[in-house]
Structure 1
Amino acid sequence: MALVAAVDGVAGASVGLLPLVALGPAFAGLVGTWLRTAVIGVLAVAVVGALGAVDGLFAERRGFAAVGAVIGVTVAGAIAALTRQRREAELASVRSIAEVAQRVLLRPVPRSAGHLRAAVSYTSAVAEARIGGDLYEVVASPAGVRVIIGDVQGKGLEAVETAAVVLGAFREAAYDEKTLEGVGERVQRAADRTVSGEKFVTALMAELSAGHGATLLSYGHPPPMIVRPDGQVVFPEPPWYSLPLGLGFGPEHSAVPVPYPVTFQPGDQLLLYTDGVTEARDAAGTFYPLGERAHLLADADPQRALETLRADLIRHTRGPLHDDAAMLLLRYREPGTDPDGGPVLGRR
Structure 2
Amino acid sequence: MLLAPLLVIALVSATALLTPQLQFSRLLDAAPALAAAMFPVAGTLVIGLLAVLASLGVADAQHDIGQTASNFSLIAIAAIALAAAYVSRMRQRHERTLAEVRTVAEIAQRALLRPLPQQIEHIDLDVLYQAAAAQACIGGDFYEATQTSHGVRLIIGDIRGKGLPAVDAASVILSAFRVLAPGAPDLPSLAEQLDTSMSWYCRNLPDTLERFATIVLVEIPAGEPIARVLNCGHPPPLLLQGGEVREVVPSAPSPPVNMADLLDADYRVDTIPFHTGDRLLLYTDGVSEARDADGSFYPLAQRVCRWSFAPLPDFLEHLRQDLRAYVVGTCADDLAALVVHRR
> TM-score by structure 1 length?
0.90
Q: C-alpha separation between the residues in 1 aligned to 2:19 and 2:245?
A: 74
The aligned runs of 1:178-197 (5 Å cut-off) are 178-195=185-202, 196-197=208-209
Deviation at 1:82, TM superposition (A): 0.3
Question: Which residue is equivalent to 1:327?
Answer: 337
Question: Which residue is equivalent to 2:211?
Answer: 199
- Aligned partners of 1:297 and 1:306 also within 8 Å: no
State yes or no: 1:134 paired with 2:141.
Answer: yes
State yes or no: 1:240 paired with 2:252.
Answer: yes
- Aligned partners of 1:192 and 1:248 also within 8 Å: no
Q: C-alpha separation between the residues in 2 aligned to 1:50 and 1:322?
A: 53
State yes or no: 1:228 paired with 2:277.
Answer: no
Question: Which residue is equivalent to 1:9?
Answer: 17
AA partner of residue 120 (structure 1): V
Q: C-alpha separation between the residues in 1 aligned to 2:293 and 2:240?
A: 28
Cα deviations by residue, 1:290-311 (Å, 9 ceiling, x for unpaired) = 2212323434521211211222
- Aligned partners of 1:149 and 1:274 also within 8 Å: yes
> Secondary structure of 1:125's partner?
coil
Question: Which residue is equivalent to 1:340?
Answer: none
State yes or no: 1:305 paired with 2:318.
Answer: no
> Secondary structure of 2:182's partner?
helix
Q: C-alpha separation between the residues in 1 aligned to 2:324 and 2:81?
A: 44
| Range 308-317 or range 76-85, more displaced | 308-317
- Aligned partners of 1:25 and 1:40 also within 8 Å: yes
Deviation at 1:89, TM superposition (A): 0.3
The aligned runs of 1:137-156 (5 Å cut-off) are 137-156=144-163
- Aligned partners of 1:109 and 1:119 also within 8 Å: yes
Gaps of 5+ in 2: 1-8, 203-207
Q: C-alpha separation between the residues in 1 aligned to 2:42 and 2:155?
A: 52
Question: Which residue is equivalent to 1:273?
Answer: 283
Cα deviations by residue, 1:99-140 (Å, 9 ceiling, x for unpaired) = 000011111111101111111111333452211110000101
Question: Which residue is equivalent to 1:82?
Answer: 89
Q: C-alpha separation between the residues in 2 aligned to 1:129 and 1:211?
A: 41
> Secondary structure of 2:210's partner?
coil
AA partner of residue 219 (structure 2): E
Question: Which residue is equivalent to 2:295?
Answer: 285
| Range 186-195 or range 199-208, more displaced | 186-195
- Aligned partners of 2:290 and 2:297 also within 8 Å: yes
> Secondary structure of 1:150's partner?
strand
Question: Which residue is equivalent to 1:35?
Answer: 42
| Range 300-309 or range 18-27, more displaced | 300-309
Q: C-alpha separation between the residues in 1 aligned to 2:250 and 2:303?
A: 23
- Aligned partners of 1:135 and 1:149 also within 8 Å: yes
Question: Which residue is equivalent to 2:205?
Answer: none
Q: Superposition RMSD on alpha carbons, in Å? A: 1.6
- Aligned partners of 2:160 and 2:210 also within 8 Å: no
Q: C-alpha separation between the residues in 1 aligned to 2:319 and 2:37?
A: 39
State yes or no: 1:52 paired with 2:63.
Answer: no
Q: C-alpha separation between the residues in 1 aligned to 2:78 and 2:230?
A: 69
Q: C-alpha separation between the residues in 1 aligned to 2:300 and 2:87?
A: 49
> Secondary structure of 2:65's partner?
helix
> Secondary structure of 1:221's partner?
coil
Q: C-alpha separation between the residues in 2 aligned to 1:11 and 1:238?
A: 78
Question: Which residue is equivalent to 1:214?
Answer: 227
Deviation at 1:193, TM superposition (A): 1.7
AA partner of residue 189 (structure 1): T
Q: C-alpha separation between the residues in 1 aligned to 2:320 and 2:17?
A: 57
| Range 160-169 or range 281-290, more displaced | 281-290
State yes or no: 1:258 paired with 2:268.
Answer: yes
Cα deviations by residue, 1:7-30 (Å, 9 ceiling, x for unpaired) = 221222x32222211111111112
State yes or no: 1:26 paired with 2:39.
Answer: no
> Secondary structure of 2:215's partner?
strand
Pick from 69, 72, 88 the counterpart of residue 76 of structure 2: 69
Question: Which residue is equivalent to 1:164?
Answer: 171
| Range 97-106 or range 275-284, more displaced | 275-284
- Aligned partners of 1:29 and 1:80 also within 8 Å: yes
| Structure 1 residues 249 and 8: alpha-carbon distance in aligned structure 2, compared to 1, 3 A threshold | same
> Secondary structure of 1:284's partner?
coil
